[in-house]
Amino acid sequence: MRVPAPSAPTAGMSLSRLTERPRPLHDSRQTFMDGVLVIDKPAWFTSHDVVNRVRRILQERSVGHLGTLDPLATGVLPLVAGRMTRLAQFYTASEKTYEGAIRFGFATDTYDAEGEPLAPQQTVKATLEQLQQTAQRFTGRIRQMPPPFSAKKIHGVPAYKLARKHREVELQPVEVEIKNFELLEWDGEQARFLARVASGTYMRSVAHEMGQILGCGAHLAALRRTGLGEFAIADAHTLEELEAAAKQGRAQDLFVHPRKLLPEMPSVTANEENVARIRVGRAVNLPELSRARQVKVFQGQSELIAIATRVAGTLFHPKIVLAVEPQTTASR
């Protein structure tokens, strides 16, 4: 049976909190809330639900996420706020890690526990070894059919919107990469797994297709994202933790330190002259990084001011600027 996203008061949220008038969000004259934050997404929240909640907590309009999680799923949901939203373009192909469970015996229309069963439940006669052998067929580069209830767009319309209207969903298989897929335990009904996948991979589709191969049906029973790019579950905070920190005026203490972002790019601390040039979008010479394609440019130890791209020799041009001239700050 499909379980809707929460519309009633959730744990830790009183009815009075839901009925009080919302506080105004940041305007351009207020202190900026620029940073990257990892939220441990609760089940039955959409990623957009989390973004909206964080916008209100931080009082910052500019908040986005770096990779959608299904309502059923929990775990690592990195968010970018303020000027840091400009970093989103560098995370479109980030590797992801998951732990979860696949239930065998019947498939659902959404390929997960949120959907309606497509057939009566069957008894599954398989050993862990047999399931592991089947799982091996999904390792490496494979062609995968996205679920009909997904954000994959068809002529500009998300597939799930068409599916909910009972309109035909004509999805095409896409190539994805599953770098590691390991079934750990099997209780005769559910199998617990670990997976490491490239961006664009649907573990719901993996579960559904395993059920088809075994002839018994299957669906994704639980999913927790434990990593996305450089962000791990150890970096994550709950919405309640963020709200408590914000009330104490220390929400930024929960942000990821900028030096930890995009570790594949080398970092350079710019001198005052180069900082001034970068702030207005001008190219600078960075002799110590002549072989790098892109670099993170810092002012001091913790202020990330730009991502710069090498254009020739030791000349780097800012691809994105994350800081502006101090005197123009109020006109953001």
pLDDT digits (tens, 9 = 90+) for 11-35: 333 333 333 334 444 343 344 689 9
**Average pLDDT for residues 261-271, to the nearest whole number?**
94
Q: Which of 40, 70, 112, 235 is catalytic?
A: 70
| CATH number for the segment(s) 260-331 | 2.30.130.10
Residue 305 has pLDDT above 80, yes or no: yes
Q: Output the six-digit token pair for 185.
A: 């335990």
Provide the token pair at 63: 């908040």
- Maximum distance among all Cα pairs of the chain, rounded to whole angstroms: 71
User: Where does the pLDDT of residue 146 fall: very low under 50, low under 70, confident under 90, or very high at 90 and above?
Assistant: confident
Class of domain 15-94+230-256: alpha beta
pLDDT on residue 32: 62
Q: How far apart are CA 70 and CA 41, in angstroms?
A: 10
Domain ranges of the chain: 15-94+230-256, 96-228, 260-331
- What pLDDT sits at residue 326? 56
pLDDT tops 90 at residue 287? no
Q: Catalytic site residue 40?
A: no
State which fold the 96-228 domain adopts: Pseudouridine synthase (3.30.2350)
Q: What average pLDDT score do residues 48-52 get?
A: 96
Inform me whether the pLDDT recorded for 5 exceeds 50.
no
Supply the pTM of this predicted model: 0.82
Query: What's the rounded Cα separation, in Å, for the pair 272 and 316?
Result: 16
pLDDT digits (tens, 9 = 90+) for 69-93: 988 899 999 999 999 999 999 999 9
% of the chain residues with pLDDT over 70:
80
Class of residue 226 by CB neighbours under 10 A (exposed 0-12, middle 13-18, buried 19+): buried
Bridge partners of 224, per DSSP, are 74, 99
